[in-house]
Chains A and B, each alone.
Chain A
Amino acid sequence: MEYSEKVMEHFMNPKNVGEIKDADGVGTCGNPVCGDLMTFYIKIEPKTDDLNAARIVDIRFKTFGCAAAIAVASMASEMVKGKTLMDVKNLSRNEVAEELDGLPPVKMHCSNLGVQAIQEAVKDYLKKLGRDDLADQIRGCLESKESE
């Protein structure tokens, strides 16, 4: 198998699977037609629009997708837990892939999807606070929407 042990470990026993009913932000990226879909639910404390102060205190996800997609979602959720929204804004797909000891080249889009879906949840949170201006500065899943 072309997957690293870490990918297989997160794929077989993913962390933070589920939903948060009263989530502060929800973000979905991907499309089942393309074989990957991810939804992240986040809880934020303190509930401020200061990106350097607000932190992700809880995160859950649901994924329809291949082993890489599930492992990415699991790993990314672990990586951002306790982190500020600024950290999430600056998170790159390569960081997630590196934490997983690499992904096959054709699976790098899964890594993208994971990061983007979490960023999408952050955008959702900021929009609810009326800070669309801040939300617009975060990448989110625009790329995959355009390619649909």
Chain B
Amino acid sequence: MIYLDYNATAPADPEVIEAMKPYFNELYANPSSIHTPGQKAKQAVEHSRAILAQFLNTRVDEVYFTSGGTEADNLAIKGLAFSRNKRKKIIYSSIEHHAVMNTCKYMAKFGYEVIAVPVDKYGVVDLDFIRDKIDDNTLIVSIMHANNEVGTIEPIKEIAQIAHKYGAVFHTDAVQTVGKLRIDFKESGIDMLSLSGHKFYGPKGVGALIVKKGLRFDPLLHGGHQEKNHRAGTENVPGIVGLAKACELAQKEFPQEEKRLRQLRDKLWREIDSRIPEIQLNGHPETMLANTLNISVKYVEGESLILNLNAAGIYASTGSACSSGSLEPSYVLLAMGIPAEVAHSSLRFSLGRWTGQEDIDKVIEVLPGIVEKLRAMSPLYKK
């Protein structure tokens, strides 16, 4: 099996699973309990918080554990909006993950003006557009750190500066970058940052929102006093411990792993580009996640590519409509100005910790034949 869909999710690292194990049935007590086992569980949560803080260079009291990236995004945007803030404008990018995009759109129901920032053909947000639309009424600017589909990395430092000039909060969905890129929260100018465990070899069902000290936000879930009254519900202790372990492992592999993945990814692109005519790269040629390769194989539909690769034991993804159940292909690719028929032809390979040279070689060997077969039956392809 050749798994090349790490941007969708990654397997938990065996070390992560080992670290989590005791917290299911040995150190299972509730961290809110005052007895000794309870306090041990509490210590595990707080130790994990300290690891995250160190990993991202934040204060310990700036880390709020959540059930994942989606909750963290919701908590950032809704939590801020619901905390008696008078500002009524929300700015986000047209290529945000649905967790941010649909949360922002939802806020229109509560009288917020929501504005989607366009991107250029590489998927980089239009800074001048933000400068033009932002004002003293802007509550939050939410722009992802890197895009999950094409891997383009956004100029978040500059965006933070623009936001701060107007007293707006800058939130970034860093689900695709935490664990892949070094992030220095203090130095970056980010006010709120969302992360998710399962994208970097931690468990599913756990994530965090980092919130700059002093920034007020309301909880989404009301109940007990967990997470300093900002996220009620008994802590997911095994998940939190696993998330912290994932951070430690990521810390250790900086920056060699990024370099290794970049070499593999670049080879994959170079080789298939030389073997298959009329394919194009979607995304930024340089400012791009090292593990992501999004291409369009013209005249061939993405789902057909995916299922043929699947039959060869290679697991990738597509931005074709067929994968989404609607007639519209990837909104990210469309926002980049890529024609719909080319977006239907997109194919995403995302590499990770267990991707080896032989996996890439196999794709290089198999893909040209699949493309040839599908093009031979495509009415759009004229040799």
Contact = CB atoms under 8 A, between A and B. Distances in A.
Contacts of A18: 377
A106 B325 contact: yes
A11 B303 CA distance: 11
Of the listed residues A1, A39, A61, A62, the one surrounded by the most CB atoms of chain B closer than 10 A to its CB is A62
Given A39-B379, A70-B377, A32 B304 contact: no
| Main SS at interface, chain A | mixed
B107 interface: no
Interface in A36-52: 36-39
Contact of A64 (B301, B310, B325, B340): B301
A69 B379 CA distance: 13
B113 to A, nearest CB: 31
A66 B378 contact: no
Contacts of A35: 301, 320-322, 327, 329, 340-341, 344
Interface in B311-340: 311, 320-322, 325-327, 329, 339-340
A12 interface: yes
B320 A64 contact: no
A82 interface: no
Contact of A32 (B302, B322, B325, B341): B341
Interface in A1-56: 1, 8, 11-12, 14, 17-18, 28, 32-39
Interface residues of B, number: 26
A12 B301 CA distance: 14
A67 B304 CA distance: 5
Contacts of A68: 322
B320 A66 contact: yes
A65 interface: yes
A70 B299 CA distance: 14
Contact of A62 (B303, B321, B377): B377
A14 B307 contact: no
A106 B325 CA distance: 6
Contact of A65 (B304, B325, B339): B304
Interface of A: 1, 8, 11-12, 14, 17-18, 28, 32-39, 61-70, 106-107
Given A1-B310, A36-B301, A63-B379, 15 more contacts: A1-B307, A17-B376, A35-B301, A35-B341, A39-B379, A62-B377, A62-B378, A64-B379, A65-B301, A65-B304, A65-B322, A66-B303, A68-B322, A69-B301, A106-B325
Interface of B: 299-304, 307-308, 310-311, 320-322, 325-327, 329, 339-341, 344, 376-380
29 contacts: A1-B307, A11-B307, A14-B377, A32-B340, A33-B339, A33-B340, A33-B341, A34-B327, A34-B340, A35-B301, A35-B320, A35-B340, A35-B341, A36-B301, A61-B377, A62-B378, A62-B379, A63-B379, A64-B378, A66-B301, A66-B302, A66-B303, A66-B320, A66-B322, A67-B303, A67-B307, A67-B322, A69-B301, A107-B322
The list of the 6 closest CB pairs from A to B, nearest first, reads A66-B322, A32-B341, A62-B379, A66-B303, A33-B340, A35-B344
